[in-house]
Each structure stands twice: as C-alpha cells, then as structure tokens.
C-alpha cells in the first residue's frame, strides 16, 4: 500500500506544485487505486506515473472547492478512452457533487462509455469496498468538508506449517482449505483451525483529510488513534495560527500539538501555500520529527503491512 501525492498545492498552484490529488495505491491488495480529490492538471500528473486510469474505480471528493474538483470532469472523460470502457466507477462526495457533474456533462455534451454512480455522503457515512471500510467525518471548513478513514479488515494469521506436519498433514492445496475453514478433520479427529494459525494480522489505517481547521473532539481522535498514516492539510507552516484559523485552514505545528497523544505512525502534510519558497520548505523539513513529511508533487510513501 502506498500514498502517492500527485498535487500538493493549496488553492493557487505554483510552478512546482499542482492542486490537490492523492492516490491511495492498493493494487497489490485490491488491484485498484483509490483517488482522493481531483484538482486541475491531475491528468498531466498522471502521465508521469505508471498508474492506469482503468484501475481507478472509486473516487473520494473531500469538498467542492475548485482546487479539489476542477480536474474531475476532464479525468472522467479521458478515462473513457484509456481502458475504462465498460468499467463502472463510483464517486463519493458532498451534497451538490451530482448536480455539478451532471450540469457540466450536459452543457459540454459529454457522454461516457462506462457507468458512473455518484454517492453523496454525510457525517457518519460508512462505505465498504472489498476488504476495506471507509468512515466519514465532517471537518471544520467554510464549506462542507470531510475526512475519509480507510481501514483494512484484519486478516487471519499465517499457518503454522510445522504444527500441521506434526499431525501428518503434508503441504498442498489442503493448507489453503484449512486456513479458510473454522475447523478441519484429519484421521477422524476434528481440529480447531485457530490452533494452527499465528497472531491476527491487523489491518492498516489511513486517514485523509480535506481542508479544515484542526479538530478537537473525542470522536475525531478515536478515528485517528494508532493510524498508520494521517494525511492532513498544512496551508500554513510558519506559526501563523490566527491567520490559519481565520481562513478555515491549519498550521502544521498546531496540528502536531493537538494530536501528539494519538500514536500516529506517520504524518504527511500537503495543501502547501504558494507563499512559501521551496528553499524555505526544504530547510523547514529538516526541523521536523522523523515521522512527519511535507509532501511535494509525486511524493510517495509506503505503508508497510503490519507484522
């Protein structure tokens, strides 16, 4: 599993940063990519990767500000001619998303060659896709904005091959059958499969925010606790707390201070204002803890499977 930041700028792009687009790469796990927000120039960024548009089957929109959605109609149109023909796509986002897309396609007379389903979400929405569940939480922005919490289902532990051999079961297809069963029979004896499995493999958790002021509530903190990765906006980097608050955005030190006890393994901050020169950002990164990253376009982070 990987986080791939294809657009890391705030509202206004710069020469080196494009507006928001995040890929949650789950090809190894689900054979698809989850796309979170689709800012302008997303298609151009995609051309410089190996990501196949036809493997983007689910899109999650955090909110309806232009720097998060203006690339969506163009991408949907292009996907139709990049291996997406006939492959259904589902889009989740705030109320108003369906009206905006429908109007855009009607006015431009755009016709897609694959089915699109738009699901308008709300606080507390719960989504299930294959072996992943997604919880939705409303954030604190000047329009409706959401946090998406992606959580893998827990998996059974590894088979204890030595223990199976001890009771006379040799390697073969039977091992897979045993792992997928609750009990199994060998030489007339009924065995509990759990006695032949290692510890449960805990699913990974990734929390991806839309634009927001830093939140402080127990419900919110519970969603983030022990996350493998939290992606959060940091429009402001240089202790501009009051300005960040007045613009309904976040300052990086404020977020880290508020969330210091949540045992988050790694933070990725994106949505960086173009007021900061890249030299400043490079020097600023050196002051951060090792589990904190400030994203640039094409920033990639691996979220290793738990042992």
- Pick out the residues of the known binding site: 63, 65, 67-68, 141, 211, 271
Nearest to 58 by CA among 152, 154, 153, 150: 150
Q: Going by DSSP bridges, is the β-strand pair 116-120/89-93 parallel, antiparallel, or unpaired?
A: parallel
Bridge partner residues of 174 (DSSP): none
End-to-end CA distance of the chain: 14
DSSP 158: P
Q: Tell me, letter by letter, the H, E, C secondary structure of 73-133.
A: HHHHHHHCCCCCCCCCEEEEECCCHHHHHHHHHHHHCCCCCCCEEEEECCCCCEEEECCEE
Nearest to 148 by CA among 68, 83, 49: 68
Tell me if residue 238 is catalytic: no
Binding residues for Zn(2+): 63, 65, 67-68, 141, 211, 271
Nearest to 294 by CA among 305, 304, 278: 278
Q: Which of 25, 37, 67, 297 is catalytic?
A: 67
Active site residues: 67
């Amino acid at each position: 599993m990987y986080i791939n930041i294809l657009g890391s700028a705030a509202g206004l792009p710069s020469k080196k940063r494009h507006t928001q687009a995040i890929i949650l790469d789950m090809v190894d796990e689900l054979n698809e990519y989850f796309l979170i927000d689709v800012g302008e120039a997303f298609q151009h960024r995609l051309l410089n990767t190996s990501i196949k548009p036809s493997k983007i089957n689910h899109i999650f929109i955090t909110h309806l500000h232009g720097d998060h959605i203006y690339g969506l109609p163009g991408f949907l149109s292009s996907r139709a001619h990049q291996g997406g023909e006939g492959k259904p796509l589902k889009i989740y986002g705030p109320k108003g998303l369906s009206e905006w897309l429908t109007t855009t396609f009607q006015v431009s007379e755009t016709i897609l060659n694959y089915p699109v389903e738009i699901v308008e979400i709300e606080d507390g929405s719960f989504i299930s896709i294959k072996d992943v569940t997604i919880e939705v939480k409303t954030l604190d922005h000047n329009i409706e904005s959401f946090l998406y919490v992606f959580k893998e289902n827990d998996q059974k532990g590894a088979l204890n091959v030595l223990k199976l051999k001890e009771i006379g079961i040799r390697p073969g297809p039977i091992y897979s059958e045993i792992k997928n069963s609750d009990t199994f029979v060998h030489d007339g004896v009924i065995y509990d499969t759990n006695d032949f499995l290692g510890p449960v493999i805990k699913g990974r958790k990734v929390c991806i925010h839309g634009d927001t002021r830093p939140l402080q509530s127990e419900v919110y903190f519970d969603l983030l606790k022990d996350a493998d990765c939290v992606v959060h906006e940091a429009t402001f980097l240089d202790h501009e707390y009051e300005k960040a608050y007045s613009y309904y955005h976040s300052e990086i030190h404020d977020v880290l201070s508020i969330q210091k006890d949540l045992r988050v393994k790694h933070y990725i901050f994106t949505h960086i204002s173009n007021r900061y020169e890249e030299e400043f950002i490079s020097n600023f990164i050196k002051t951060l803890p090792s589990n904190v990253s400030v994203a640039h376009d094409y920033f990639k982070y691996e979220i290793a499977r738990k042992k």
